[in-house]
């Protein structure tokens, strides 16, 4: 019993460290790539295209997730991280606008590989940490990722300013090499996936059906998707809040985002204990309600209220995401969990991108205070619906 517990704790730490290390490099590249392109071309649209190149492969999540279910996950994570590290070295050749196609090709491959590794990591977690610790692990992962978002982009931008894009590429490659080493040290028993003649579309459909047919999972994933839709609309109001509401310069948005990130770190650190106490459905509902209150009240033109609302939004959003992911890992059979997680990620995060575009149009014709009040009301209604839904 003691040796098993020790091994489990060791695997918990190694897996979390691997995710954090690779996540640091990803967060650094996310901001630096856009600045790099802007420096080389002077084009705002091309700079914005970097984020799209990284995010677009997530739309193919259900399809890409099948890769994580076709092989053992630990060797896949080692190989994928080593491969990405080597691929990033090709960015050393990007020194002018004429060869930016290399950067965009790498970013698309980066995003696609990220979908696969996210699915493989999520599928490996139950085997490494045990199903009873899923909430703790997912919460700590959220806290670590949000913490990285507070420091890694600044580190990437700083490296870019001093050493150019090559410096960021080398940093990112080094983080992936380190993550591969950590994953290689994992000791976990994985059964070989069953060899089947089914085509890729059939396997993709199996993952979608496994998620959709489970009465406990479908409402949680849909609640997370609806919450992220509201979050995207809320995010589009940030500069209107800063300028029109608070009378601050646009740079003050960075302060609000930092406070929101700190709230997400706090939510991640407490998620495991709260999940055990409340259960996935009530934990998700509480998070949605907290997000809704923060969104609605930030219409008030006071700095203290705006800061408190940012903290509330940061604390609320991770709750429904952690609850949904934990439920998927707990309920879906091991052979299907990679596809199911990738499908859930697509369903949960695609609405956020759509809503950001919608919000940019709405904020031009609707007063931000009215829009925030409507968002708050919609969020509270969603929280009530989630809380009242039967558990089974």
- Per-domain boundaries in the chain: 2-187, 203-388
Question: What values do phi and psi take at 141, rounded to 5?
Answer: -60, -45
Q: Which residue has the higher pLDDT, 220 or 356?
A: 220
pLDDT at 49: 81
Nearest alpha carbon to residue 259 among 269, 247, 267, 249: 267
CATH of domain 203-388: 1.20.1250.20
Q: How far is CA 314 from CA 104, 142, 266, in A?
A: 31, 11, 9
Report for 120-124, 130-134, 308-312, 329-333: range of highest mean pLDDT: 308-312
Query: Angle, to 10 degrees, between the axis of helix 337-362 and the axis of helix 100-129?
Result: 130
Q: Give me the chain's average pLDDT, please.
A: 85
Is 2-187's fold the same as 203-388's?
yes
Whether pLDDT at 42 is above 70? yes
d(CA 299, CA 253): 15
pLDDT at residue 211, rounded to an integer:
78
Q: What pLDDT does 349 receive?
A: 85
pLDDT, residue 390, reads: 58
164 phi-psi bin (left φ>0, alpha ψ -120 to 50, beta other): left
Rounded Cα gap, residues 315 and 294, in angstroms: 10
- What CA–CA distances, in Å, run from 290 to 138, 226, 320? 19, 15, 11
Given the structure tokens 């590429």, which residue do they identify?
169
Q: Please, is 148 exposed, middle or buried when counting C-beta atoms within 10 Å of its C-beta (0-12, 13-18, 19+)?
A: buried
Q: Check residue 101 and give its pLDDT.
A: 92
pLDDT score of 107? 92
Instruction: Quote the CA–CA distance of 93 and 97 in Å, as a whole number.
Output: 11
**Confidence band for 142, pLDDT divided at 50, 70 and 90:** confident
What are 223-240's pLDDT values in tens digits?
999 999 999 888 888 888
The 10 Å Cβ neighbour count of residue 190 is: 16
pLDDT at residue 65, rounded to an integer: 84
What pLDDT sits at residue 322? 93
Task: Give 81-119 pLDDT, tens digit per residue.
Answer: 999 999 999 999 998 888 889 999 999 999 899 899 988
Given this model, what pLDDT does residue 290 score? 96
pLDDT at 282: 93
- Taking residues 189-211, report their average pLDDT: 70
What torsion, rounded to 10 degrees, do the Cα atoms 287, 290, 291, 296 define? 160
Q: What is the mean pLDDT of residues 264-276?
A: 91
Q: What is the pLDDT of residue 1?
A: 35
pLDDT value of position 192: 65
Look at the block and give the residue holding tokens 């014709």.
365
What would the pLDDT profile of 368-382 be if each residue is shown by its tens digit? 899 999 999 999 999
* Percent with pLDDT over 90 in the chain: 35
At 284, the pLDDT band (50, 70, 90 cuts) reads: very high
For residue 67, what are the CA distances in angstroms to 26, 150, 205? 21, 31, 13
Topology classification of domain 2-187: Growth Hormone; Chain: A; (1.20.1250)
Supply the pLDDT for residue 385: 92
Position 378 scores a pLDDT of 96
- 359 DSSP 8-state letter: H
pLDDT at 299 over 60: yes
């Amino acid at each position: 019993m003691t040796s098993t517990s020790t091994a489990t704790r060791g695997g918990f730490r190694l897996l979390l460290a691997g995710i954090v290390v690779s996540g640091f490099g990803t967060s650094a590249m996310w901001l630096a790539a856009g600045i790099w392109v802007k420096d080389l071309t002077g084009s705002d649209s091309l700079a914005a295209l970097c984020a799209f190149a990284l995010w677009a492969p997530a739309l193919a999540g259900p399809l890409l997730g099948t890769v994580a279910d076709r092989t053992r996950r630990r060797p896949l994570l080692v190989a994928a991280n080593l491969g990405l590290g080597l691929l990033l070295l090709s960015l050393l050749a990007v020194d002018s606008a004429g060869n930016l196609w290399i950067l965009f090709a790498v970013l698309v491959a980066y995003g696609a590989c990220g979908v696969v590794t996210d699915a493989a990591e999520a599928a490996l977690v139950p085997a490494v940490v045990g199903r009873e610790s899923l909430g703790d692990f997912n919460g700590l992962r959220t806290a670590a990722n949000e913490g990285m978002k507070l420091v890694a982009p600044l580190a990437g931008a700083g490296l870019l300013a001093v050493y150019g894009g090559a410096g960021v590429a080398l940093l990112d490659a080094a983080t992936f090499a380190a993550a591969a080493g950590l994953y290689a040290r994992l000791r976990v028993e994985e059964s070989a996936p069953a060899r089947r003649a089914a085509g890729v579309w059939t396997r993709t459909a199996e993952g979608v059906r496994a998620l959709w047919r489970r009465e406990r999972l479908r409402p949680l994933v849909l609640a997370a998707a609806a919450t992220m839709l509201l979050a995207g609309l809320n995010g589009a109001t940030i500069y209107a809040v800063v300028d029109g509401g608070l009378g601050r310069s646009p740079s003050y948005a960075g302060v609000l985002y930092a406070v929101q990130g700190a709230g997400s770190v706090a939510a991640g650190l407490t998620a495991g204990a709260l999940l055990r106490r409340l259960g996935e459905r009530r934990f998700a509902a509480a998070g949605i309600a907290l997000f809704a209150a923060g969104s609605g009240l930030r219409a008030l033109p006071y700095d203290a209220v705006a800061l408190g609302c940012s903290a509330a939004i940061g604390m609320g959003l991770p709750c429904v995401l952690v609850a949904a992911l934990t439920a998927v890992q707990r309920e879906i059979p091991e052979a299907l969990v990679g596809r199911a997680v990738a499908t859930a990620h697509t369903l949960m995060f695609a609405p956020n991108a759509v809503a950001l575009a919608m919000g940019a149009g709405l904020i031009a014709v609707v007063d931000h205070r009215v829009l925030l009040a409507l968002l708050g009301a919609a969020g509270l209604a969603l929280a009530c619906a989630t809380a009242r839904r039967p558990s089974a």
